[in-house]
């Protein structure tokens, strides 16, 4: 296999001349090719077979311990002008960055195979989908790309038809953290990633293309590329409303995306369209239509259990790749929160020792095709996408932020998204548990200046005459004893029902300075072990605390200087004044 497209053939030749691989393999995406890669990795020790009787087609990959998460401090957006990348990104001059990367890539594939991986983000026949080609020397990356994207011949055919594609160049290198960079060149639709094999740094279709590069393209072309799950919520009469929800990494997007409503919510169902990324376009009817550009999950394993996410467990017993989990004595994958069984070995491949940290790395992952998900939506492949009724923002906030609130209008919704904050998690290297502003859960993923991004969100709202309603949720409030106040997981269905009810004009809310909040009687809490005072606290407004929050939001927004849209500053002032009243 090779290509009819001169621009692609030439790029592959140039990369090969620079990196000097022993072989070049064009990937067709076939099952046979996948099995060949698995055999190769079993032979090299990159993959270990798990128990094939209980977990057919499942393998374990253990990373270098220094390479287990995204590296935000080594991730750069290289636009010609630093202001275009904005204070939300690390910036490097594009020619300096290219030179640095060329030096690293020079001869870096000697003795290795260069894989050419054409892929399509989104259903191959969807006008909303976009294509890319990743060149990598890692068979682990190729195998994961096959599970995560529409990869191979069909994607290549579309690329040859369209003539354009995002170029992604990846090399594992020697995994030296001092020689690790994830560079984005949005103006030339190019990604260069060196020195890491970790998902978010190396599977370039995901964060690098579908968020950083796509968000930049989306602004130019008038659409949105977001860090959001997409679900269909079906009521007992069979009517489905679609919701897109943005939460920072490790705040439960995957769990919410495949939620199973508890018995008390009889007749309600949740259908999974996506768990991490959402591309939305304004349709001719004025609604936002969304596709999931991915074809698989790269989900966080720890905490995935029978009581938290039974759908995920059900899809993980075949054809999955596990990265950095532990194993049991019968060689089945294991992580904290999976079962009461004692693991035999930890994620470093050593015998498990209770005193020596968790068996699975806190950011250990599973990769599996979305088609394995029991709640996979029959609309997930729809070329036109699904119509979005509600956009939900949320973060991990121990205090202050109520369980749920609704924005007064789109502009206020943009403020809710732009002022989102969350406690940091293990998905990225660095301190865990520190509250940071993470607008629209896009802090690590927006490929341009956040001030321009907020302005773009406001513009999309102007274009969409039937824009979704916007909400904010917080599943993570704690009481003075440090206990979670809301049960979360499947019980979040009760909050989703209020959200859907609001979109359909069927349930009440009280107007407050910070937004529309349900009164306790607006939420169905029948059968929940929840004290009335706790519910009251979850739905109340702490005036002094919010005044302080609004002042912090004001300073945060001011840090974007003159590029900040006046409308957003006005929204902040409006809420701050309402809180003084
Ligand atoms: C992810 C992340 O892998 O957000 O989805 O880190
Ligand atoms: Mn994510």
Task: Give 392-416 pLDDT, tens digit per residue.
Answer: 999 999 999 999 999 999 999 999 9
Residue 428 Cα: closest atom of ligand 1? 6
With b for 16 or more beta-carbon neighbours within 10 A and e for fewer, the 146-156 pattern comes to bbbbbbbebbb
Query: Distance (Å, rounded) from C-alpha 231 to C-alpha 245?
Result: 9
Ligand 1 within 6 A of 276 CB?
yes
Residue 69 Cα: closest atom of ligand 1? 6
Residue 199 Cα: closest atom of ligand 1? 3
280, two tokens: 């939305």
Ligand 1 within 6 A of 397 CB?
no
Dihedral pair phi/psi, residue 284, rounded to 5°:
-60, -25
Quick one: how far is CA 552 from the chain centroid?
26
284, two tokens: 């001719």
Ligand 1 within 6 A of 200 CB?
yes
pLDDT (0 to 100) of residue 1: 63
Q: What residue spans in the chain does CATH classification 3.40.449.10 cover? A: 6-47+71-222
Query: Distance (Å, rounded) from C-alpha 238 to C-alpha 384?
Result: 21
pLDDT (0 to 100) of residue 423: 86
- Options 27, 120, 171, 251, the catalytic residue: 251
Low-confidence ranges of the chain (pLDDT < 50): none
Rounded distance from Cα 542 to ligand 2 centre (Å): 31
Q: What residues have CB less than 8 Å from 354, skipping those under 6 apart?
A: none
* CA distances (Å), origin 398, targets 200, 249, 255, 423, 481: 27, 17, 19, 9, 11
Residue 70 Cα: closest atom of ligand 1? 6
Query: Distance (Å, rounded) from C-alpha 273 to C-alpha 279?
Result: 12
Q: Is 251 a catalytic site residue?
A: yes
Q: Where are the beta strands (DSSP E) in 63-199?
A: 75-77, 90-91, 113-121, 130-136, 150-151, 166-171, 181-185, 190-194
Using CB atoms within 10 A of its CB, is residue 506 exposed (0-12), middle (13-18) or buried (19+)? exposed
Ligand 1 within 6 A of 224 CB?
no
Query: Distance (Å, rounded) from C-alpha 122 to C-alpha 118?
Result: 13
Q: Whose CA is nearest to atom 3 of ligand 1?
A: 200
- For the chain, report the end-to-end CA distance as a whole number of angstroms: 69
Rounded distance from Cα 382 to ligand 2 centre (Å): 23
Ligand nearest to the CA of 298: 1
Ligand 1 within 6 A of 249 CB?
yes
Report pLDDT digits (tens) over 501-541: 999 999 999 999 999 999 999 999 999 999 999 999 999 99
Query: pTM of whole model > 0.85?
Result: yes
Rounded distance from Cα 227 to ligand 2 centre (Å): 6
Tracing tokens 């009461």 back to the chain, one arrives at 340
Ligand 1 within 6 A of 427 CB?
yes
Dihedral pair phi/psi, residue 530, rounded to 5°:
-135, 115
Residue 200 Cα: closest atom of ligand 1? 3
Provide the β-strand partners of residue 282. 288
CB 208 within 8 A of CB 193: yes
Which of 105, 304, 121 is closest to 203 using CA atoms?
Answer: 121
Ligand 1 within 6 A of 33 CB?
no
Q: Whose CA is nearest to atom 2 of ligand 1?
A: 249
pLDDT (0 to 100) of residue 435: 83
- Residues written for the chain: 581
Rounded distance from Cα 223 to ligand 1 centre (Å): 22
| 225-296+378-580 under CATH 3.20.20.190, yes or no | no
165, two tokens: 């594609």
Give the fold, CATH level 3, of 6-47+71-222: Phosphoenolpyruvate Carboxykinase; domain 1 (3.40.449)
Which of 427, 496, 469 is closest to 256 using CA atoms?
Answer: 496
Q: What residues have CB less than 8 Å from 409, skipping those under 6 apart?
A: none
Rounded distance from Cα 207 to ligand 1 centre (Å): 8
Query: Distance (Å, rounded) from C-alpha 260 to C-alpha 373?
Result: 12
Give the dihedral sign, CA 26/31/33/34.
positive
Residue 298 Cα: closest atom of ligand 1? 3
Q: Whose CA is nearest to atom 1 of ligand 1?
A: 249
Ligand 1 within 6 A of 298 CB?
yes
> Which run of H or of E encompasses 421?
strand 421-423
SS3 581: coil
177, two tokens: 């953290």
Rounded distance from Cα 198 to ligand 1 centre (Å): 11
Rounded distance from Cα 573 to ligand 2 centre (Å): 31
Give the dihedral sign, CA 10/15/18/24.
negative
Rounded distance from Cα 492 to ligand 1 centre (Å): 21
Tracing tokens 């202001």 back to the chain, one arrives at 83
pLDDT (0 to 100) of residue 143: 98
Q: Whose CA is nearest to atom 4 of ligand 1?
A: 249
Q: What residue spans in the chain does CATH classification 3.90.228.20 cover? A: 225-296+378-580
Provide the β-strand partners of residue 194. 171, 181
User: Helices then strands (H, E): number in the chain?
Assistant: 16, 29
């Amino acid at each position: 296999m090779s290509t009819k497209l001169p621009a692609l053939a030439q790029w592959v030749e140039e990369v090969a001349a620079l990196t000097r691989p022993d072989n070049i393999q064009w990937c067709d995406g076939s099952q046979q090719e996948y099995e060949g890669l698995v055999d190769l990795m079993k032979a090299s020790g990159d993959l270990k077979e798990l128990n094939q009787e209980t977990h057919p087609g499942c393998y374990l990959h253990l990373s270098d311990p220094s390479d287990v998460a995204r590296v935000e401090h080594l991730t750069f957006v290289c636009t010609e002008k630093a202001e275009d990348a904005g204070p939300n990104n690390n910036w490097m001059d594009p020619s300096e960055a290219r030179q640095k990367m060329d030096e690293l890539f020079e001869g870096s594939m000697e003795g290795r195979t260069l894989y050419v991986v054409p892929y399509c983000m989104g259903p191959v026949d969807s006008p909303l989908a976009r294509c890319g080609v990743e060149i990598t020397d890692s068979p682990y990356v190729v195998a994961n790309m096959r599970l995560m994207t529409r990869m191979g011949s069909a994607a290549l055919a579309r690329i040859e038809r369209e003539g354009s594609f995002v170029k992604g160049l990846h090399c594992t290198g020697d995994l030296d953290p001092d020689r690790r960079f994830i560079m984005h060149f949005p103006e030339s639709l190019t990604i260069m990633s060196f020195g890491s094999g970790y998902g978010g740094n190396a599977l370039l279709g995901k964060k690098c293309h579908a968020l950083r590069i796509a968000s930049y393209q989306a602004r130019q072309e008038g659409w949105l590329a977001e860090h959001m799950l997409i679900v269909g919520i079906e009521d007992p009469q069979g009517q489905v409303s679609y919701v897109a929800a943005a939460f920072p990494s490790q705040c439960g997007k995957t769990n919410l995306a495949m939620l199973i409503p508890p018995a008390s919510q009889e007749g309600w169902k949740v259908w999974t369209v996506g768990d991490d990324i959402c591309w939305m376009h304004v349709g001719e009817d004025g609604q936002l239509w969304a596709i999931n550009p991915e074809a698989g999950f790269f989900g966080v394993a720890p905490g995935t259990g029978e009581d938290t996410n039974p759908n995920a467990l059900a899809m993980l017993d075949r054809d999955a790749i596990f990265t950095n989990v532990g194993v049991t004595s019968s060689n089945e994958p294991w992580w904290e929160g999976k079962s009461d069984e004692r693991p035999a070995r930890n994620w470093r491949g050593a015998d498990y020792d209770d005193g020596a940290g968790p068996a699975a790395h806190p950011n250990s992952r599973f990769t599996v095709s979305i088609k394995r998900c029991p709640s996979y939506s029959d609309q997930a492949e729809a070329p036109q996408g699904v119509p979005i009724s509600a956009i939900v923002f949320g973060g991990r906030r121990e205090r202050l932020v109520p369980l749920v609130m609704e924005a007064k209008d789109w502009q206020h919704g943009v403020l809710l998204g732009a002022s989102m904050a969350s406690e940091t998690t293990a998905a990225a290297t660095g301190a865990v548990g520190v509250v940071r502003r993470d607008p629209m859960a896009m802090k690590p993923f927006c490929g341009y200046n956040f001030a321009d991004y907020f302005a773009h969100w406001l513009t999309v709202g102007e274009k969409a005459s039937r824009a979704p309603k916007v909400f904010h949720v917080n599943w993570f409030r704690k009481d003075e004893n440090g206990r979670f106040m809301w049960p979360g997981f499947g019980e979040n269905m009760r909050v989703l029902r209020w959200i859907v009810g609001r979109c359909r004009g069927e349930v009440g809310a009280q107007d407050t300075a910070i937004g529309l909040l349900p009164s306790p009687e607006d939420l169905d809490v029948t059968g929940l072990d929840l004290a009335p005072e706790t519910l009251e606290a979850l739905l109340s407004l702490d005036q002094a605390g919010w005044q302080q929050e609004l002042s912090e939001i004001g300073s945060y927004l001011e840090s974007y200087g003159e590029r900040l849209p006046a409308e957003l500053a006005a929204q902040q002032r409006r809420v701050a004044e309402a809180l003084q009243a």
